[in-house]
Chains A and B, each alone.
Chain A
């Protein structure tokens, strides 16, 4: 399909009004053509407005959706064990991971004595896929409306401000967390130095079991959202440097910690 042929079809294509055999050709051209991509986005913007007919969402339909909106196998048990979503990025920990976890717990204990026991269930959630998903969405949130959400978190009376310090929690301040139970929490005021693109900072919650990933912070963190969906206060937060794809368990000693 030539550029002119594709251009002529862009309006109809945006309205889903191009037959499938032609739509495939238009899509292939658009994927290679920035001008057509820009025009199609504009057409779709109009189509989106045209299709916004308003109306109330029927409550009875939600039950059908909710029954099918399940979490990946194993993740629900993890969420239940931790009381929230923080456990969704857990993966089975083999002996090596457990050894690292033990080291980590000692490092964390230097910051604060971990008191509460949380039954942590290690489950087969695919960490890399979830981390990709969360990282993409983190970028989205950063670009849209994050400032407003951070402000709300900072003003929330139930919010905890957690200062993360280097050198096992005794060194200089490198970042601050605003933790709002069961809502969006944020890494703010990051002074973490940029990492090579092959590495990322990763945030962990440390209680009595292996550290639990709260998400990737990226190689040069600014403001990053995460969720700690529980109300326990005896948690140590720690940051480590990990491979860019993230790790199921920390592979290095924490560079910062705090509670």
Chain B
């Protein structure tokens, strides 16, 4: 049995990246680059912007691997979080926002079934999909529009015609509900022989 990059843990890869070992970054990209780019493309809405976000994410890991706190999240979740943040920054810029609206036409997010369909197509993890599906409609819509469309809670409130306080509450309540569901599911899986 030989330890190599293909079998190294994510934590070991980050340690190697800390020593400027580019093959470790390549392996990290191989493992997680697809997820990073998929989310970036979903949020930013274009392959060009998704590529830009993906490059930013992995170059940030290369330059600041110590920012990854494994006690708080897994590596993929960390990378996805950075990707989302960066993608949102891009789509909220004036120019790309205009281009995005033009591309999308009317905000299709108002069509709950469409949002739901797209989210479900993209959410590959069965547990996450089930957890999202089980949310009350108002919570689900608010989370999907905020997260997958990169909208602020104020924009979501405007689009849905609801008070801002309601949208804030629904997002928070939905995330709590999903966390409870996913934690229970995770415990159940880990208890299997």
Please list the residues of chain A having a beta carbon within 8 angstroms of any beta carbon in chain B.
Answer: 7-12, 14-19, 41-58, 61-62, 64-66, 68-69, 71-72, 75, 79, 85, 88, 132-134, 136-138, 140-141, 143-146, 148-149, 152-153, 155-158, 180, 183-184, 225, 227, 229
Interface majority SS on B: helix, strand, loop or mixed? helix
Q: Do the beta carbons of B78 and A48 come within 8 Å of each other?
A: yes
Known: A54-B124, A155-B1. A49 touches B18 (CB 8 A): no
B residues near A88, Cβ cutoff 8 Å: 19-20
Are A10 and B172 interface neighbours, CB within 8 A?
Answer: yes
A136: chain B residues at CB < 8 Å are 18, 66
Q: Which of B15, B33, B59 lies in contact with A140, CB distance below 8 A? A: B15
CA distance A136 to B14 in the complex (A): 11
Q: Report whether B175 and A43 are in contact in the complex, using a CB–CB cutoff of 8 Å.
A: yes
Bound state CA distance, A7 and B122, in angstroms?
29
Judge whether B85 is part of the interface by a CB distance below 8 angstroms: yes
Which residues of chain A have C-beta atoms less than 8 A from B127's C-beta?
Answer: 49
B residues 149-164 with Cβ under 8 Å of A?
Answer: 150-154, 156
Question: A71–B35 Cα gap in the complex (Å)?
Answer: 26
Q: Report the minimal beta-carbon distance from A52 to chain B, rounded to whole angstroms.
A: 5
Cβ contact within 8 Å between A146 and B26: no
Docked-complex contact B11 and A146, CB < 8 angstroms: yes
Q: List 26 A-B contacts (CB under 8 A).
A: A11-B173, A11-B174, A12-B171, A12-B172, A15-B84, A16-B84, A17-B147, A17-B152, A43-B179, A46-B179, A48-B76, A49-B182, A50-B128, A52-B39, A57-B37, A58-B51, A65-B25, A65-B29, A65-B54, A88-B19, A133-B65, A140-B11, A143-B71, A144-B9, A184-B15, A227-B21
Q: List residues of chain B with CB within 8 A of the CB of A55.
A: 34-35, 37-38
Determine the chain A residues whose CB is within 8 A of the CB of B169 once the complex forms.
8
CA distance A143 to B73 in the complex (A): 13
The distance in angstroms between the C-alpha atoms of A65 and B30, with both chains bound, is 12
Q: Which residue of the partner chain, among A7, A16, A17, A65, contacts B58 with CB atoms under 8 Å?
A: A65
B143 nearest in chain A by CB position: A15
**Interchain CA distance A62-B34 in the complex, whole Å:** 11
**Least distance between B128 CB and chain A CB atoms (Å):** 5
A53 and B26 CA atoms in complex are apart in Å by 20
- Whether the Cβ atoms of B125 and A85 lie closer than 8 Å is no
Enumerate chain A residues within 8 angstroms of B84, measured Cβ to Cβ. 15-16, 47, 51
* Complex alpha-carbon distance, A46 and B128, angstroms: 8
